[in-house]
Structure 1
Amino acid sequence: MVTAAAYAVTSSTSPFEKTTIERRELGPLDLLIEIKFAGICHSDIHTAHDEWAGTHYPLVPGHEIAGVVSAVGSDVTRHQVGDRVGVGCFVDSCGECDACRTDDEQYCFNRATGTYNSKGRDGEWTQGGYSTHIVTTERFVLSIPDGLELDVAAPLLCAGITLYSPLAHWGAGPGKKVAVVGMGGLGHVGVKIAHAMGAEVTVLSRSLAKKGDGLKFGADDYYATSDPATFEQLRGKFDLIVNTVSANLDIDAYISMLAINGTLVELGLPEKPIEVGAFSLVRNRRSLAGSLVGGIAETQEMLHFCAEHGIAAEIEVISASEIDEAYDRVLASDVRYRFVIDIATI
């Protein structure tokens, strides 16, 4: 067993505390990864606070993991000691269902094993990247291209693929008008990716406070959704809208901005069910869809795409002792745009 230092919470209201956890013995197809950086995702906060129910404590969150391989199992062929690698939102799947066979492991019919707060095949609860080391099967480990520094690459393992997958699936590219709802940890990466794909990109944000950043990241236009005139002005304009906001919005109002055959893709996870009027969809043959990160092959594709186009998350690096403060700041929308923990500070 490998003993790793980590930061964990023991209840939905407790602060993070330094602890030690045990990682499993290296199997033939396993890698031991020395974690260098771990991004903070809003999902970490939801889970730590048990807002989705079912959190198992003690909990070590973190599924935006970047590090270096420090040991390999006897049958490992894809990676070697010293490789720069990443681990994203899940670390196993059944490998046999239709989803797994088509490289959509995130939709595994038998449920993919999450990087944290999930029971593995051995019956043990997984623990995430707010720790010094992790043991992961090589099939779920990503190679981080040399063109990406580890600290800015970490958030791409969740935020990056969460946006890349729907933008690629629904054909964002030249001649397509794409809107990104929200300019936070997810949205700012989405703007960069959609722009690099060649789409005409518009940001729809509550205010114009981040307009300068949005245009710098590649947006062609930027509108405040707090202004009712925005919805009239943009009615019927977009081929694709990706909603990164987890708050309950007036989805009918956003659907009204879709062109004929347009699609609104829900990425955020609001607390209450989404309400949509049927007429909003039947007019102009519009669609409402959802998307959940991406498979391992697509995530690797995303990393190479980002390296090729110079795309990285905008980050603020923090020490492990600042996790609680960072959570508070995320909830207050006081970060531009993603916190990343320097694991050397554990």
Structure 2
Amino acid sequence: MNTPQTLAFGTEAAHLPIKKMNIQRRALLPNDVSIEILYCGICHSDLHAAKNDWGGSTYPLVPGHEIVGKITEIGSEVSKFKVGDLAAIGCIVDSCGTCSHCHEGEEQFCESGWTVVFNSPDKISGGMTYGGFSEQIVADADYVLKMSDKVDLAASAPVLCAGITVYSPLKHWKVGPGKKVGIIGIGGLGHMAIKIAKAMGADVTVFTTSPSKMEDAKNLGADHAILSTDKSAMKDQRGFDMILDTVSAKHDVNVYLRALKVDGSLVLVGLPNEPLEIGAFNVVNGRKSFSGSNIGGIAETQEVIDFCAEHGITADIELINPSEINEAFERLEKGDVKYRFVIDLKK
């Protein structure tokens, strides 16, 4: 089935709102699948891209990289899926497939550069890719994930970005029973990190600037909640094996570096617009590390989908209609969401 056009929701410029638009999807190639999009999460990165906060946005732009849907057609060479299967797409829809990182299942580090699901040069069709704020998408089956029919699909959509973004570093830094883990911030990323770290068996402490979120942290499964503006309480924080920093605004990371044990790591997954300053003694004393992590590869994304399904982990979401995207963006800028907006594309 050739569907050259599909309804989408995007923007024509950084200063303009999200609106309905028609976009063109490619005709099905032998290893492609066509997916009817049922739900798509809204990540802060979608907002940054739409507003061109990081530079490099190309318009028209259709955001969306937490995509869950149903296979409607498969190419002649596809054996991984059949029509009617539930499927998902995250950030990555293409990579070189030949470099050492791709061979190791870490397409996010592809030496030739991986193709982002939206606002990325499309090596197959030309132009730029369009994301999941749309009714349909065509993608290479090798970059499409399998979804269980036993999960809440809408609440599982954020696993495709928020879930993998926190799962990958938690796994890489070997979080598990006996490990003391800190999580900075309770938002889209932070609330998923609490659930996943607890499912891994760690002792979890949440740091938040919001007194109103102290109880939320405990309800999400955290063992401890610390108000990071309380200097006395922060001085008492010591011995963390790892602290995961999910904050996307400028903040002081040094107080957290001091809370690490010897050889501990502070790992950044948030994306602040401004540089963060690190005091040399805070890493030299104790042989501590300040590191970063960026999503995960296709195999690891499938792994976190399966992990969350096995442990009953979903995001806390607010389901919205496409007509409410602009309002959701405004609320997201203010931090007024607990903890992820998800668009119902069936409405």
Q: TM-score range by the shorter chain?
A: over 0.9
Structure 1 position 192, deviation (Å): 0.1
Question: What residue identity is the alignment partner of 1:149?
Answer: D
State the AA in 2 paired with 1:273: P
Structure 1 residue 288 displacement after superposition: 0.7
CA distance in structure 2 between the partners assigned to 1:309 and 1:192 by the alignment: 9
2:158 maps to amino acid = P
1:32 aligns with 2:69: no
The CA distance in 2 between the partners of 1:59 and 1:304, in whole Å, is 31
Q: 2:325 is matched with which residue? A: 323
Deviations 1:208-251 (A, max 9, x none): 212222112210000111111132010x3210000000111111
Partner Cα separation in structure 2 for residue 279 and residue 100 of structure 1: 37
Give the distance between the partners of 1:42 and 1:99, measured in 2 at CA: 27
Do the aligned partners of 1:208 and 1:223 also contact (CA within 8 Å) in 2?
no
Alignment match, 1:54? 56
Letter in 2 for 1:22: Q
The corresponding residue for 1:199 is 202
> Any idea what SS the aligned residue of 1:316 has?
strand
Q: Structure 2: where are the runs of 5+ without partners?
A: none
Report SS of the residue matched to 2:346. helix
Residue of structure 1 equivalent to 2:249:
247
Moved more, 203-212 or 103-112: 203-212
The residue aligned with 1:22 is 24
TM-score, length basis structure 2: 0.98
Q: Give me the whole-angstrom Cα distance separating, in 2, the residues matched to 1:120 and 1:102.
A: 23
| Partner of residue 190, structure 2 | 187
Q: Pick which of 195-204 and 249-258 moved more.
A: 249-258
C-alpha RMSD of the superposition:
0.9
Where does the alignment leave 5 or more consecutive residues of structure 1 unmatched?
none
Q: Secondary structure at the match of 1:193?
A: helix
* Residue 301 of structure 1: aligned partner: 303
Q: Is the 8 A contact 2:269 2:294 kept in 1?
A: yes
1:319 to partner: Cα distance: 0.4
The answer to which of 203-212 and 287-296 deviates more is: 203-212
Q: Secondary structure at the match of 1:210?
A: helix
Shift of residue 305 of structure 1? Answer: 0.6
Q: Which of the residues 222, 227, 232 maps onto 1:224? A: 227
Bigger mean CA deviation after superposition, 145-154 or 127-136: 145-154
Letter in 1 for 2:241: D
Q: Is the contact made by 2:214 and 2:227 (CA closer than 8 Å) also made in structure 1?
A: no
**How far, CA to CA, are the matches of 1:26 and 1:294 in structure 2?**
26
* Superposed displacement of residue 124, structure 1: 2.1
> Matched residues, percent identical?
48
* Amino acid aligned to 2:272: P
1:26-55 deviation digits (Å, cap 9, x = unpaired): 000000000000000000000000001010
Aligned to 2:287: 285
1:73-222 counterparts in 2 under 5 A?
73-122=75-124, 123-222=126-225
Mapped to 1, the partners of 2:327 and 2:123 lie a distance apart of: 34
Partner secondary structure for residue 14 of structure 1: coil
Name the SS of the counterpart of 1:37 in structure 2. Answer: strand
Which whole-Å CA distance do the structure 2 matches of 1:65 and 1:211 have between them? 31
Give CA-to-partner distance per residue, 1:132-166, whole Å, 9 cap, x none: 00000001000012332210111110000001000
Contact 1:207 1:223 in 2 (8 A): no
Runs of 4+ in 1 over 4 A off after TM superposition: none
Give secondary structure in 1 for the equivalent of 2:191.
helix
Instruction: Report the Cα offset of residue 344 of structure 1.
Output: 1.4
The 2-side partners of 1:129 and 1:229 are apart by: 45
Is the 2:101–2:109 contact (alpha carbons within 8 Å) kept by the matching residues of 1?
yes
Q: Using the alignment, how far apart are the partners of 1:231 and 1:26 within structure 2?
A: 55
